[in-house]
Structure 1
């Protein structure tokens, strides 16, 4: 069923219901006047049926309007926001099916309370304009919700990765090499690998890879990539091809987002790459051994990255899938920070929160993230050492001020030219985590009180504070003022 047909039926039904209600006509009265059954009229008003022209003319006469008005897509001012929403392409882009919804339920909602929904939709549009929320932000938020809904573990893609290894006779006990992946990509999918496009176009320097489609597609790799970054780029491209994901981006970094399907397929291809390069059975065994250590041993993480020839981000992001599934550690978050040298700005460029944990969270209000976070601490350490060549590893128990939440946060920092970055994974400390991680109480682990942003932090003696607590002070002023006014009212 095409969306446009749904829209025509729904707008027609909204008009019929609004006119009937405004005139104080019941469905039974309208049925008597038109000779159309109550049940059929009810289906019309819900946007499920659209009458033939002859019956439409009869309904128009009974409601006292012209035929042309009733069949047009124009709505009055009260319902205009809903009409604009219905006639836009937003509904067609909503990933409803991924959240167990279908269009018929949405249409029922519009038909049940159109005026109230109109006001609600108008409010959402005003909020989006005020905060300059773009469509792609909505897509990425929808993807994160989709991941959270599934605890970021997808059996179907894991099985496809296993089938791929078996089909192309790759050993599960070893990580596929760049050479093996390149051979498969070229021989099985007719995609060649090159680097010359990056040499000829300096403006592409921020991208890791670009696929140039054609009779003989080319996967152009940025020549500055590390070996594990190159392997991941190939594995991701194999994911697109092997999973037959047609609607997709052609660049590794988003330049322009076309649809939610592109965002979802990009995630699936990346998830496939992680599952292919970091076999779940092998990695689960290694994580079990890591958690079983009596003491915190950061060198074991570096050994894991070397064993799987992987990057800090790929390793930690893979853990967000395996820890919930195999360890029952579902309350966790993943963060990726970047920092431009010689500035005081830290950017949260990627995040994932499972089980409703939303602190810390990305701030779109230009607030200063807490400088006590291990992620930012490692960034500062990396920048202090101009000759840093190795990955920095940090572990911290972070307790949130005025909250019962405490996290075990593992962070990895990797040096990069002009722009350092860290990735971190935070695990909520509860009884399950205490049973799983033996080194949790190692005195070598740093314990710190943290908050989300400086503007909201009550800590009076914070040496790392980057901004005064303006938002907190305003909240306290409002509370004090409310308390005073309530006291005056009660005293009368």
Structure 2
């Protein structure tokens, strides 16, 4: 048994017995002669008393010594013991949200059966929807980003300090050759561009890092922007002194949440290095101040950066909330196989609250009026490498409208696969003040839904499924109304 587990169980049993005796901590302190703070630390599982003190507590509380030190729990505390033994709490990245494990245990111990039933329910739901540890960690990371408005000043400052120390000019987007020189000369890396091509199983990977020899294996088919990001991320790992890290990009496995979190830190550092904050602010100032929407500007802005459209859109989720106070936004990444009718959300981020367009894991059909789906359909039919479009999406169901930019690209790592990235900005007073071209008649407005199964837009020519969920909800509402009428009639 782990020492920590034994302390927790003893503390829970002591608290349970004290509560049954209707004793406060102060009362037990007077009864036993032990300090209130010491007893509090015992109950929280921080300390385990010596034999003489256990004997004293057993005597004053009138319980057998063996019963007090036994790890056997009664039916009320048994669920807590199972929870602690399962180490589920160890899987939760509690410290990320400023929660102490002891606080959570305290909540559980106050209502063990109910809380354990709640956690068991969550676990069952996770199993039912195939929600594994990876999904849980990514959801935790996403919540962390959202809680911080996806802006991390300490990482922005780290990039500034790095640029001064290594004389990297942040008035432009650095090239991969400049970053490679730093990796080789400063951090002792060896770059290998040939090895990965020998293994067909590694076609989807962009890089592998071998820590023992500091060898970075890089796929030979990546473009300049992808290579620059990989190098910038490796610099981030080193400059931020991160040891607990992932070794493949894209990553294929992890051992703990710290690796997932540190991967995000290194990626944020890379994005801030490749897309300098002051440079993108200068471009955005020019774009937002135009009285008419300039589609060529967004289509061409990526030429100012050694970065992919996805990196650019994600960087905007850092800059817009902090520097423009446009906090109500979302980011979506969708994937699509050419020739199929399937569209999957593979990444999403919602700042301030859960915005209307969001992932759905019940195989419902996403609204085909989304610009993020339209650009995927268009690029699959064309021979272009990149397509960009914009629209105003209005959700009649909740009365909200969004200004949405979307870019679609060919997936360079999967045959016949395409992906789109979209940035949606909630249209409110703040956005109207910042975006001059919002009233441009060239911007088309579409009534949209989230999924066809929940959409009440009539006569939709691109509907993929009948509104089954919505019809069921409406029927339930009618049933509820009739029941209320009968209750009043016969009361």
TM range, smaller chain: over 0.9
- In structure 1, the partner of 2:441 is 443
- Match of residue 409, structure 1, among 404, 421, 442: 404
**In terms of mean alpha carbon deviation, does 19-28 or 129-138 score higher?**
19-28
- Find the partner of 1:354 among 351, 373, 379: 351
User: Using a 3 Å threshold, how does the CA distance of structure 1 residues 451 and 59 change in structure 2: closer, same or farther?
Assistant: same
User: Could you list the per-position Cα deviations for residues 301-360 of structure 1 after superposition, in whole angstroms to 9, with x for gaps in the alignment?
Assistant: 232211112110000000000001111100000000001223222111111100013321
Deviation per CA, 1:182-209: give whole Å up to 9, x if none: 1111111111112333222111111121
Q: Distance in 1 between matches of 2:256 and 2:285?
A: 39
Pairing 1:217–2:227 present? no
CA contact (8 A) 2:338 2:416 kept: yes
SS at match of 2:248: coil
**Alignment gaps of 5+ in structure 2:** none
Counterpart residue number, 1:200: 198
**Larger mean Cα displacement after TM superposition, 267-276 or 96-105:** 96-105
CA shift, 1:72, in A, is 3.9
1:430 maps to 2:428: yes
Q: Which of 232, 236, 243 is the equivalent residue of 1:235?
A: 232
Q: Structure 2: how far apart are the matches of 1:361 and 1:80?
A: 39
Seen in structure 2, the aligned counterparts of structure 1 residues 22 and 128 have a Cα distance that, compared at 3 Å, is farther
Distance in 1, matches of 2:305 and 2:40, equals 61
Alignment partner of 1:323 out of 304, 320, 323: 320
Give the ranges of 4+ consecutive aligned residues of structure 1 lying more than 4 Å apart after TM superposition.
3-6, 20-43, 61-66
Which is further off, 76-85 or 417-426? 76-85
Task: Look up the match of 1:400.
Answer: 395
Change (3 A) 1:367 1:81: farther
**Structure 1 range deviating more: 240-249 or 7-16:** 7-16
How many residues end up aligned between the 2 structures? 487
Which of 262, 266, 269 is the equivalent residue of 1:269? 266
1:342/1:68 Cα in 2 relative to 1: closer, same or farther (>3 Å)?
farther
Q: Does 1:187 align with 2:185?
A: yes
TM-score (norm 2): 0.93
2:254 is the alignment partner of 1:257: yes
Contact 2:246 2:263 in 1 (8 A): yes
Summarize the alignment of residues 19-418 of structure 1 with structure 2, pairs less than 5 Å apart. 19-22=17-20, 36=34, 40-60=38-58, 66-214=64-212, 216-385=213-382, 387-389=383-385, 391-416=386-411, 417-418=415-416
CA RMSD of aligned residues (A): 2.3
Question: 1:333 touches 1:353 (CA, 8 Å); kept in 2?
Answer: yes
TM-score (norm 1): 0.92
In structure 1, runs of 5+ residues without a counterpart are: none
Question: Partner of 1:366: helix, strand, or coil?
Answer: coil
